[in-house]
A and B are shown apart, each in its own frame.
Chain A
Amino acid sequence: MAPDTAPSAEAARTASGTGAERSRRRSSRTAVLAAVVLALLLWLVLYPNLYVLADSLRMSGRWTLAAYARFVRSPSELGALWNSIWISLASVALSGLVGVPLAFLFTRFDFPGRRLLAALAAVPVLLPPLVGVIAFLFLYGETGFITRGVQLLLGLRAPPWRLNGPAAILLVHTYTMYVYFYMFTSAALARLDPAQAQAARALGASGPTVLRRVTLPLLFPAIGGAALLVFMTSMGSFSAPYVFGGGFRVLTTQIFVSKLNGTPEDLALAAVEAVVLAATSLLFLGLLERLERGRAYTGAGKGIAPVRRRGAADVGAGVVAFLVVLVLVLPHLTVALVSLVPIGTWTTELFPPRLSLVNYRLMFTEPARLRPILNSLSMATTATLANVALAVAAAWLIVRRSFRGKGLMSALVVLPWALPGTVLALALATTFSVHAPWLGRFVLVGTAAILPLAYFIRDIPLVTRAALTSFRQLDPAVEEAAASLGAGPARTLGRVVLPLVLPGLLAGALLAFVTALGEFVASILLYTHATRPISVEILSQLRAFDFGAAAAYAVLLIVVMAIVFGIGQMAAADDAVRRGGG
């Protein structure tokens, strides 16, 4: 892939600084970095999935298209494909309709508690997947608080609704996924240069026109990135359709069914379903990339904070923000309440009859029970650090440099999102259970490295998209200015580029960290006794019918995640102040 060979360190050191030589050195450096990043991506992202592709074409040791034929002929398989697609499109639309206005609400209006509410508006991301589903059951399920409350209030004999079918799936998806729109748009809005909008206004454009012709196009990378993430997360979503679908088929549940049935035909069909799922997501990615192409969105980010005035509209905005946030934190409050329920004491009552701290006491008096939390923290940290390094390198290359294989790299950094966690876990388990170094295969299954690796791979799209968005909004003139003032590439990166892309990058990294911290789907297939993460421990408590203990873990997880987010928010705020003041 890389045409040039790596220059030796010595050559790099001794090379003098004539213009032509410098530019040649720069391009060969680009080539080396591109080669390293591409090789890493090919090895970790593409390579394992080739084994899944091979599985879809093989049955009992023979190469065959039989599984594909079975897929195409089965109405229920095609139905599942169609359901996956429309549910995902609807999830994108609904999440966008919630997330983008929320971002505007918190960046364009000023009201008391704005900062706190803005942070709280991201709380769904603090809810670990499994716990979120359980919290929804306790809230909106047939005997949930809200359901029973409405039933009592209206004097109904039967529950007013059932948390079931596509509507329930879309509710859960919107709740968990609008955060992508909200965070990406907020970060982009924070970086938006108000001078452009002011200029448009001075030239006579009306408010809506400015929004349509200036602000939204500038937000397009952020909104496009969020749409992509939501579409792919939704395509790969398993718990929501499985728990709330009520027999509503999507591709992920079909994969589960096929895998559980376990005959060679079913296993091949599961691989086909995974391939179809990935192909659909990639198609969407292609469409989106095509949409993005040909638009230039740079010119933002001269570091001026948007001007805010308090007015009557702000009061209304504040009330709306408060109500929205209240709905958003309900699941968390539910989990907190359930964590106080001693095992077996709550059956048919509307509220738990007895509350105590026994679950927390048990959790802290048994040091072994803290182990999963420490495991998750260290594994998520490791994965996120690696994600940030890769994301900065990849985004810088894709946005700023031209090299062979750029299209491939752009596709590879999004590919992990196109593959459901189960498929990734399987691919990793297959690829890294054999010692064959010449094939790039090492025994990682059962070691402490496999889970951080899985988290790393899963979160590549999240962090890289965030970095890409930031780099795209960054005016190259800034870098050119630094270079013309004599700063070398390292100095430009460290002192100019990184500080400017930090808010966006940080948003992505934090999302990745909390995603890894609560990751469940891949963990459940790859954990070992020693690396047991918190999500698996929660499942284990749930299996033991200890909702209280599971919820106590969840609360602890939420608190840890909240602290991380708090730190991130503060860092971002500091950064904004620094840039605003400077």
Chain B
Amino acid sequence: MGRRFAVGRPLIAVLALAAAACTGGDGRTPLVVYSPHGRELLTAFEQRFEAAHPDVDVQWVDMGSQEVLDRVRSEKANPQADVWWGAPAEMFTAAASEGLLEPFAPTWAAAVPAEMKDPRGLWYGTYETPEVIAYNSKVVTAAEAPKDWDDVLDPKWKGKVLIRDPLASGTMRTIWGMILDRSVRETGDTAQGMAWLRRLDAQTKEYVLNPTLLYQKLAREEGLITLWDMPDIEALQAKTKLPIDYTIPTSGTPLVVDGIAIVNGAPHAAAARQFVEYVGGMKGILLAAREFMRLPARTDIPPDSLPERLRWAQAQIRPEPLDWARLQQQLPGWMRWWDEHVRGRSGG
């Protein structure tokens, strides 16, 4: 008897505990947001949005954009998230083609240019994120710092370049995509771009696991140069005193369209629509621009309502024209090829 119960009792305990954990809550509608935008920005939006919608409890889950896609994919049969906020447009395009997103038409939809949103309203661009060249500003002066992508290949930076693992990062994939897309545009194939990446690999000291380690290694002078995106470095400067600054590449830089979408089958679709409406609305856009250096994707924002530094950056940026459709189709294969044939092969 005792033996049979030995199995049963803990199982009952498991079920009881599970049941107990499921109840609770304060009666507000929980709104689950998957987002890579980081604690500060998400907390700010959570507070402002909840002040305007007291019946909603925003629960953001902080993860990388590639992880969000992965998760939304595996939760397809039983979606857990309501809103997916933050990822390059290509990722949203991929998700849209897999039926992972739900259409919605916010009031500000028309203010977003056609190339920055889905024609069926499955996702909308919120911000434009420029990719930049970052450096340790304690060791490297602004005058010495690389001004353009090719400058990073200068022999003086050999063994001083740190690169965030390109396969896991939307930012890095976009930069890789730009190099390879340039190559296809200019020569018809990727050979020139892969040659460029091979030279970069030879400059590269290390491929770094995640942005945090990247910042730390850069600040501790384990490397001096890296490629990253502008808002993240701005946020880092605002939050920490790490000696990291950036230059905007002169020959052009990809402007990653960063978007927002409602997950198909979102458990709390009504609250999700309110949230998307808020994030892309004038209040949300200005909050992101003024406090988090996010360039609005909407074209109807009066320039004088944007902060000084953001307008300076806007003036510096030369958008790189990219064939996003080609990238969406070809980039996974290119990344795989790079991983197998270029990465670490140049004795970096």
Contacts and interface: CB of A to CB of B under 8 A. Distances in A.
Interface of A: 12, 29, 32-33, 36-37, 40, 74, 76, 137, 141-143, 164, 242-243, 246-247, 256-257, 259-263, 266, 343-345, 347-348, 378, 382, 385-386, 388-390, 392-393, 396, 426, 429-430, 433-434, 443, 445-449, 452-453, 456, 489-490, 493-494, 524-525, 527-531, 540, 542-545, 547
Nearest to B30: A529
A260 B168 contact: yes
Given A261-B336, A433-B78, A547-B216, A33 B3 contact: yes
B309 interface: no
Contact of B10 (A36, A74, A389): A389
Contacts of B38: 543-544
A413 to B, nearest CB: 14
A429 B62 contact: no
Contact of A449 (B2, B14, B61, B343): B14
Which range contains the number of B residues in contact with the other chain?
35 or more
Given A262-B332, A544-B39, A378 B17 contact: yes
Q: Top 9 A-B pairs ranked by shortest CB distance?
A: A344-B240, A448-B21, A247-B344, A490-B2, A529-B59, A449-B18, A385-B10, A433-B78, A446-B80
B335 interface: yes
A171 to B, nearest CB: 17
Given A446-B80, A525-B71, A530 B21 contact: yes
Given A243-B209, A429-B75, A528-B32, 18 more contacts: A29-B4, A32-B4, A36-B4, A143-B217, A260-B66, A262-B94, A347-B220, A348-B138, A388-B10, A389-B11, A433-B74, A445-B80, A446-B80, A449-B18, A530-B21, A545-B212, A545-B240, A547-B212
A446 B78 contact: yes
A446 B75 CA distance: 9
Contacts of B74: 426, 429-430, 433, 525
Contacts of A393: 3, 6-7
A345 B212 CA distance: 15
B210 A382 contact: no
Q: Is the interface of A mostly helix, strand, loop or mixed?
A: helix
A447 B9 CA distance: 21
B77 interface: yes
Given A344-B239, A429-B75, A448-B18, A543 B206 contact: no
8 contacts: A246-B344, A382-B17, A389-B7, A433-B78, A449-B15, A527-B61, A528-B61, A529-B59
A490 B168 contact: no
A142 B222 contact: yes
Interface of B: 1-4, 6-7, 9-11, 13-15, 17-18, 21-22, 30, 32, 38-40, 59-63, 66-67, 69-71, 73-78, 80, 94, 138, 167-168, 206-207, 209-213, 215-217, 219-222, 236, 239-243, 332-333, 335-336, 339-340, 343-344
Contacts of A530: 21, 59
B1 A490 contact: yes
B18 A386 contact: no
A445 B81 CA distance: 12
B241 A344 contact: yes
Contacts of B217: 142-143
Given A262-B94, A544-B38, A386 B11 contact: yes
Nearest to B9: A389
Contacts of A263: 332-333
A246 B209 CA distance: 10
Contacts of B30: 529
Contacts of A37: 7
A49 to B, nearest CB: 15
A260 B3 contact: no
A257 B3 contact: no
A419 B130 CA distance: 40
A343 B219 CA distance: 13
A544 to B, nearest CB: 4
A247 B166 CA distance: 12
Nearest to B267: A446
B18 A452 contact: yes
Contacts of B40: 544
B337 to A, nearest CB: 11
A434 B333 CA distance: 32
B9 A260 contact: no
A447 B210 CA distance: 29
A495 B14 CA distance: 26
A386 B17 CA distance: 12
Most buried by B among A256, A489, A545, A547: A545
B220 to A, nearest CB: 5
Given A540-B62, A543-B38, A348 B220 contact: yes
Nearest to B25: A530
Given A389-B9, A448-B21, A493-B2, A545 B239 contact: yes
Contacts of B241: 344-345, 347
A527 B81 CA distance: 12
Contact of B6 (A76, A389, A525): A389
